Amino acid sequence: MKLNRFLLAASTCAMLAGCAGMDPNALVQSGQLATQAAMLSDADVRALSDKSCAQLDSENQIAPANSPYAQRLDKIAAQLGNNINGVPVVYKVYLTKDVNAWAMGNGCVRVYSGLMDMMNDDEVRGVVGHEMGHVALGHTKKAMQVAYGTSAVRSVAASGTGMIASLSASQLGDLSEKFVNAQFSQTQETAADDYSFDMQKKKGLDPSGLVTAFNKLAQKDGGTSSLLSSHPASPARAKHIQDRIASGK
């Protein structure tokens, strides 16, 4: 059992942060934290997402309901729908020059005005559909589990006493940063692309905005936008969607 925990810890550490200089006891502890994180239930993830989203909302300027950004997103939201796997969705715009968008397992969807400035509505819809795909396909649950296991929250979680209710602002900030900067695998990215494509086709919408959105993101500042740091756009991904459009499948 100790060997299995050691191997789990070593594997987790190699994937997330590297293990140089760590002793066996530290590796075992990392493995225990990873196991705790993997055991988070859907309800735990939603509760953590509620706290994390509220924290991020408090730290960012939200576009008022009568702003052009909010009105644009309302139009896009009406096309995409108001739930993900039965979970109600709440859409908001952060007023920032950063180019990003994300969604959490509690239905929290946030789009940055910097992204909306560089994209038309069809492109924004494609990106938001992609983020919703990460939620629907369980990717954001895994990302929250990783954020939980690698952030300051783990020190509270390890005590097992009122973990979610007692999180401090700094702990929530660390958790939120880890989640927003989570890295999805290429397989997950392709699956989320396909989810956005399929959802738009099912609703009678044009999914070609996904292609042009990828191209714009890849060209922006040589591919260094904050969205690209966790969503590596590529000609191959654009071509995949183009091929699906051409085949009608």
Percent of the chain at pLDDT > 90 equals 49
Could you report the per-residue pLDDT of 121-149, keeping only the tens digit for each?
Answer: 999 999 999 999 999 999 999 888 888 87
Order of strands, sheet of 108-112, starting from the edge strand that comes earlier in the sequence:
90-94, 108-112, 101-103
Selecting among 59, 123, 131, 177, the annotated active-site residue is 131
Taking each helix axis from N to C end, the angle separating 139-150 and 169-180, rounded to the nearest 10 degrees, works out to 130
The domain spans of the chain are: 1-39, 41-247
Residue 166 contacts by C-beta under 8 Å, 6 or more apart in sequence?
A: 156
Could you report the per-residue pLDDT of 147-162, keeping only the tens digit for each?
Answer: 887 876 666 554 444 5
Look at the pTM and tell me if it is higher than 0.75. Answer: yes
Q: Which residue type occupies 12? A: T
Could you report the per-residue pLDDT of 22-79, keeping only the tens digit for each?
Answer: 344 433 344 444 555 566 788 888 888 999 999 999 999 999 999 999 999 999 999 9
Residue 161: what pLDDT? 40
CA distance 126 to 200: 8
Sequence-distant contacts of 134-137: CB under 8 A, at least 24 apart: 134/103, 134/184, 134/188, 134/192, 135/84, 135/85, 135/87, 135/103, 135/104, 135/105, 135/107, 136/84, 136/85, 136/195, 137/188, 137/191, 137/192, 137/195
CA distance 237 to 189: 9
CA distance 137 to 237: 18
Let me know if 123 is a catalytic residue: no
